[in-house]
Amino acid sequence: MSETSPERIAIIGGGSIGVAFAVVFARAGHRTIITDPDPQRRAAVPSELAARLTSLDAAGLLTEDPEAVLARATVTSTVAEAVDGATLVQECAPERLEIKQEVFRELGELTGPDTILASSSSAITASRTADGLECADRILVAHPGNPPYLLPVIELVPTADTRPEIVEAAHRIYAAAGMSPVTVAREVEGFIFNRLQGAVLREAYALVRDGVATVEDIDTVVRDGLGRRWSFMGPFETVDLNTRGGISSHAQKMGPAYERMGAERGQHDPWTPDLVAEVNHQRRALLPLDQWEDRVAWRDQRLIELAQTLTRTAPSISRKSEHDNDN
């Protein structure tokens, strides 16, 4: 399987995520076949695909005509036809265990031993879906953001039974399709995406409950503060660049305060010296300290470009920010 060769991709379930995945795969040059048991959905899929491709094209985000991409995506009423010759099957059926199990049982029977069976599930682990199935060694979760053609991250969550070559092949296909696959080492509820989102939401709810902030205040802090940086780097890189000396220096200065904030919420997950040493080791492998100043300048430039884009595309947001600054 070469990194760039066109494959056949089957999409099971043509709802929001199924249509969005069809954009990802057809845009990447793959022959993409979508199936859905609901005839109304099957009828709606082509126009929904066309609308999404037209918007991407208008924004200069397609490298070819929308019609050429659309021509690679077809709809069928049968799962058997959809998966015929497929390298990867992306299951996008409703988030119900009994539906997922039945879909994967059928997929196991209809596909060969090397076909990747990927579930888009947000919360149902592949272990539960694959329980008792012969094809368990080909099943993994491949959880996207919504919509995956605009949020490239995809969490790959194999089980202990998933064959490593299946995970590696899935990783290659998603990466070659312009996505950013992250392999989650262990099946944990919420994977990474929703655990991080959950941590922020838990604190946001508590701050509203305690009368510290309004809902609007919290969204402003994220939209006009944290979120601007997070649109191009993660929380580790953010604090690494915020403190001269990098993340170990940040942990030394701020660790105790964050530990107290956690304790206030009944959490005891201190950043122990060993843990900080490991995080620092990984950060320094990504960014040696002698490149720190250059990276800080890069961050500032990205913030300038983001401010330009936001001012150009959403003047009401920048006016709102100026108004906030007056108060």
Q: Interface with ligand NAD by CB under 6 A: which residues?
A: 12-18, 36-38, 41, 92-95, 99, 103, 120-122, 143-144, 146
- Tell me how far, at minimum, the Cβ of 97 lies from ligand NAD, in Å: 10
- Look at the block and give the residue holding tokens 């403190």: 243
The span from the CA of 121 to the CA of 63, in Å, is 30
Task: Pick between residue 15 and residue 255 the one whose CB is nearest to ligand NAD.
Answer: 15
Contacts of 310 (CB under 8 A, 6+ apart): 317, 318
- Tell me how far, at minimum, the Cβ of 46 lies from ligand NAD, in Å: 14
Give the number of C-alpha atoms closer than 13 A to the C-alpha of residue 184, restricted to the C-beta side.
Answer: 24
- Tell me how far, at minimum, the Cβ of 45 lies from ligand NAD, in Å: 9
Task: Pick between residue 100 and residue 283 the one whose CB is nearest to ligand NAD.
Answer: 100
Taking CA atoms, 196 is separated from 61, 183, 203, 245, 250, in Å, by 29, 16, 11, 26, 20
Residue of closest CB approach to ligand NAD: 15
- Tell me how far, at minimum, the Cβ of 92 lies from ligand NAD, in Å: 4
Asked if 151 and 145 count as a contact pair (C-beta separation under 8 A), the reply is: yes
Task: Pick between residue 90 and residue 280 the one whose CB is nearest to ligand NAD.
Answer: 90
- Tell me how far, at minimum, the Cβ of 154 lies from ligand NAD, in Å: 10
- Look at the block and give the residue holding tokens 């107290």: 260
End-to-end CA distance of the chain: 59
Task: Pick between residue 195 and residue 253 the one whose CB is nearest to ligand NAD.
Answer: 195
